[in-house]
């Protein structure tokens, strides 16, 4: 057997059969074409990809795949589009363009910089640029043909491949074609006022088929924390913050202690809602009152003791600190929210009026929207009479979820076949 037996004749580029070289050059060419289009006609395609244009594009792509595989499945071009080299090239091109989002800061151009080359080429808005859209389109075309060619014959192995790759096709298509149909609208609810409108991120007003009237806003906060602050810089010493002992926070609680760096602290008295009277604090239930604690601090090294009141303050009350050393003060930090919610009345043009509760990570579904508890007036804190909601509508989300479900099903099916084959 001679060496010539294993040699292959030299093949020039673009001569059939195509391989990995052509598979990598095609997405590179598409990206270059996209950069030219972005420079000459920026922001002309992305805004047009809304319903029903994107739906027609998705339907057209599915029909193209069906006709191409059904009528031309035996042709060299269709076979190559469903081949491993084409899949690798399309994936590399798609991933390379997507990786630019992690390298180039994304966001609108600052005033006066719109004409800079990076902004003209769409590098600061990758997902809305021509290079990205062309890379996604090529990736979907290749993925679609690779999936379609495994639909027949419908063997057990082909079924797993079809489910996993078909699911990826649906997820990617739904996420990208439906990106401009995603709506996010912010609603600011005032107590005892009916709100029908919100504002999107471009500042446009949006009127809903439903409305909310805020009846109650409530915040549950973490236990109060204390720390040592360097009065020269205003920084938290060592970045350390510790919670006050739970025993001291109970009504008529016993004095409780804790160690904070070089100091032993004993909480002699704690008031959940207090106001200053003279040189001390008393329990008061009123608007703008603040938490207060009478603390005794003892320095471990030499036994130096300091005692006094500290409070985190509020929008009406000034905070008070306890000076321990020439440069260090003991402070009570602003409490961090643990849970906040809104109780409201929901009005619907085509539905019943009912009481609802909106809470973080527990959205309310109404009229095709998901309404989330987003924020509140943080200056007022627990006294806020404003609740900020976000209404989100993504009509393509069911298609994305379907694709994810199919990918999981395909992976489980292929795993089952692999385990069965080993048995």
Pair 206, 329 in one domain: no
**Per-residue b or e along 36-66, where b marks 16 or more CB atoms closer than 10 Å to that residue's CB:** ebbeeebeebbeebeeeebeeebeebeeebe
What's the CA gap between 72 and 149, in Å, rounded? 11
Please indicate, yes or no, if residue 379 is contained in any of the structural domains.
yes
What is the band of 75 on the pLDDT scale with cuts at 50, 70, 90?
Answer: confident
**250 pLDDT above the threshold of 50:** yes
Pair 65, 135 in one domain: yes
The residue out of 149, 169, 199 marking a domain boundary is 149
What is the band of 238 on the pLDDT scale with cuts at 50, 70, 90?
Answer: confident
Pair 314, 353 in one domain: no
**171 pLDDT above the threshold of 80:** yes
The per-residue pLDDT for 164 is 93
pLDDT in tens, 191-203: 989 999 999 988 8
**168 pLDDT above the threshold of 70:** yes
What's the CA gap between 76 and 143, in Å, rounded? 17
Q: Which two tokens stand for residue 354?
A: 């009912």
What's the CA gap between 140 and 309, in Å, rounded? 66
**360 pLDDT above the threshold of 80:** yes
What's the CA gap between 399 and 62, in Å, rounded? 14
What is the band of 10 on the pLDDT scale with cuts at 50, 70, 90?
Answer: low
Which of the pair, 151 or 359, is modelled with greater confidence?
A: 359
What's the CA gap between 408 and 341, in Å, rounded? 34
Please indicate, yes or no, if residue 279 is contained in any of the structural domains.
yes
Please indicate, yes or no, if residue 93 is contained in any of the structural domains.
yes
Pair 90, 143 in one domain: yes
What does residue 399 show for φ and ψ, rounded to 5 degrees?
-65, -40
Mean pLDDT of 393-410: 94
What's the CA gap between 182 and 144, in Å, rounded? 24
What is the band of 156 on the pLDDT scale with cuts at 50, 70, 90?
Answer: confident
Whether residue 151 contacts residue 55, with contact meaning beta carbons closer than 8 Å, is answered with: no
What's the CA gap between 44 and 411, in Å, rounded? 39
Whether residue 261 contacts residue 227, with contact meaning beta carbons closer than 8 Å, is answered with: no
The residues near 338 (Cβ < 8 Å, ≥ 6 apart) are: 220, 221, 222
The per-residue pLDDT for 345 is 96
What is the band of 381 on the pLDDT scale with cuts at 50, 70, 90?
Answer: confident
In this structure, of 118-127, 185-194, 249-258, the range with the lowest mean pLDDT score is 249-258
Please indicate, yes or no, if residue 416 is contained in any of the structural domains.
no
Q: What is the CA radius of gyration of the chain?
A: 32
Please indicate, yes or no, if residue 55 is contained in any of the structural domains.
yes
The per-residue pLDDT for 4 is 38
Whether residue 276 contacts residue 300, with contact meaning beta carbons closer than 8 Å, is answered with: no
3 state DSSP class of 99 = helix
Task: Please name the helix (run of DSSP H) or strand (run of DSSP E) that holds residue 60, with its range, or none.
Answer: helix 53-72
Whether residue 181 contacts residue 395, with contact meaning beta carbons closer than 8 Å, is answered with: yes
Whether residue 134 contacts residue 45, with contact meaning beta carbons closer than 8 Å, is answered with: no
Pair 215, 342 in one domain: yes
Total domains present in the chain: 3
Please indicate, yes or no, if residue 62 is contained in any of the structural domains.
yes
Strand intervals (E) in 118-235: 183-190, 194-200, 205-221, 225-230
What is the band of 8 on the pLDDT scale with cuts at 50, 70, 90?
Answer: very low
Pair 99, 209 in one domain: no
Cα dihedral 9, 14, 20, 25 sign:
positive
Pair 21, 124 in one domain: yes
Q: Phi-psi bin for 409: left (phi > 0), alpha (psi -120 to 50), beta?
A: alpha
Which of the pair, 414 or 72, is modelled with greater confidence?
A: 414
Full residue range of the structural domain in which residue 280 is found: 223-335
Please indicate, yes or no, if residue 76 is contained in any of the structural domains.
yes
Pair 211, 346 in one domain: yes
Mean pLDDT of 282-295: 90
What is the band of 404 on the pLDDT scale with cuts at 50, 70, 90?
Answer: very high
Please indicate, yes or no, if residue 376 is contained in any of the structural domains.
yes
Pair 21, 137 in one domain: yes
Task: Please name the helix (run of DSSP H) or strand (run of DSSP E) that holds residue 347, with its range, or none.
Answer: strand 337-348
The per-residue pLDDT for 105 is 87
The residue out of 107, 130, 149 marking a domain boundary is 149
The percent of the chain in helix, strand and coil, each rounded to the nearest 5, is 40, 30, 30
Pair 115, 200 in one domain: no
Pair 330, 383 in one domain: no
3 state DSSP class of 399 = helix
pTM of the model as a whole: 0.74
**126 pLDDT above the threshold of 50:** yes
Whether residue 343 contacts residue 357, with contact meaning beta carbons closer than 8 Å, is answered with: yes
The per-residue pLDDT for 205 is 93
What is the band of 421 on the pLDDT scale with cuts at 50, 70, 90?
Answer: low
Lookup result for tokens 């009478």: 294
The per-residue pLDDT for 6 is 37
The per-residue pLDDT for 47 is 56
The per-residue pLDDT for 234 is 87
Pair 47, 145 in one domain: yes
**7 pLDDT above the threshold of 60:** no
The per-residue pLDDT for 377 is 92
What's the CA gap between 190 and 213, in Å, rounded? 8
What's the CA gap between 206 and 278, in Å, rounded? 51
Whether residue 193 contacts residue 214, with contact meaning beta carbons closer than 8 Å, is answered with: yes
**329 pLDDT above the threshold of 90:** yes
Q: Which of 122, 120, 115 is nearest to 97 (CA)?
A: 122
**328 pLDDT above the threshold of 80:** yes
Mean pLDDT of 367-388: 92
Cα dihedral 248, 254, 259, 262 sign:
positive
């Amino acid at each position: 057997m001679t060496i010539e037996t294993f040699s292959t004749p030299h093949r020039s580029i673009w001569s059939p059969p195509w391989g990995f070289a052509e598979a990598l050059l095609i997405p590179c060419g598409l990206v270059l074409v996209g950069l030219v289009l972005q420079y000459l006609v920026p922001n002309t395609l992305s805004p047009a990809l809304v319903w029903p244009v994107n739906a027609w594009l998705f339907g057209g792509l599915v029909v193209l795949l069906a006709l191409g595989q059904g009528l031309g499945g035996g042709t060299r071009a269709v076979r190559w589009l469903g081949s491993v080299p084409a899949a690798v090239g399309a994936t590399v091109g798609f991933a390379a363009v997507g990786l630019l989002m992690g390298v180039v800061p994304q966001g609108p151009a600052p005033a006066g910089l719109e004409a800079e080359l990076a902004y003209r080429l769409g590098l600061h808005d990758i997902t809305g640029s021509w290079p990205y859209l062309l890379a996604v389109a090529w990736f979907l075309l290749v993925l679609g043909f690779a999936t379609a060619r495994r639909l027949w014959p419908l063997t057990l192995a082909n079924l797993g491949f079809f489910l996993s790759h078909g699911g990826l096709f649906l997820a990617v298509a739904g996420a990208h074609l439906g990106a401009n149909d995603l709506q996010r609208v912010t609603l600011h609810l005032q107590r005892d006022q009916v709100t029908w409108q919100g504002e999107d991120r471009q500042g446009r007003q949006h009127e809903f088929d439903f409305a909310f009237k805020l009846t109650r806003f409530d915040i549950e906060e973490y236990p109060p924390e204390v720390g040592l602050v360097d009065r020269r810089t205003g920084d938290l010493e060592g970045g350390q913050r510790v919670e006050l002992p739970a025993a001291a926070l109970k009504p008529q609680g016993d004095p409780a202690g804790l160690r904070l760096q070089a100091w032993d602290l004993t909480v002699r008295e704690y008031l959940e809602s207090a106001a200053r009277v003279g040189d001390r604090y008393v329990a008061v239930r009123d608007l703008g009152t603040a938490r207060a604690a009478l603390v005794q601090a003892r320095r471990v090294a030499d036994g130096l003791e300091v005692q006094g009141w500290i409070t985190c303050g509020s929008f009406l009350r000034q905070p008070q600190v306890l000076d321990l050393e020439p440069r260090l003060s003991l402070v009570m930090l602003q409490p961090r929210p643990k849970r906040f919610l809104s109780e409201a009345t929901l009005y619907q043009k085509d539905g019943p009026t009912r009481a609802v509760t909106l809470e973080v990570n527990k959205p309310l579904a109404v009229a095709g929207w998901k309404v989330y508890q987003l924020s509140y007036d943080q200056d007022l804190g627990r006294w806020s009479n404003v609740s900020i909601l976000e209404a989100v509508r993504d009509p393509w989300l069911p298609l994305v979820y379907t694709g994810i479900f199919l990918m999981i099903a395909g992976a489980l099916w292929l795993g089952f076949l692999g385990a069965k084959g080993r048995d």
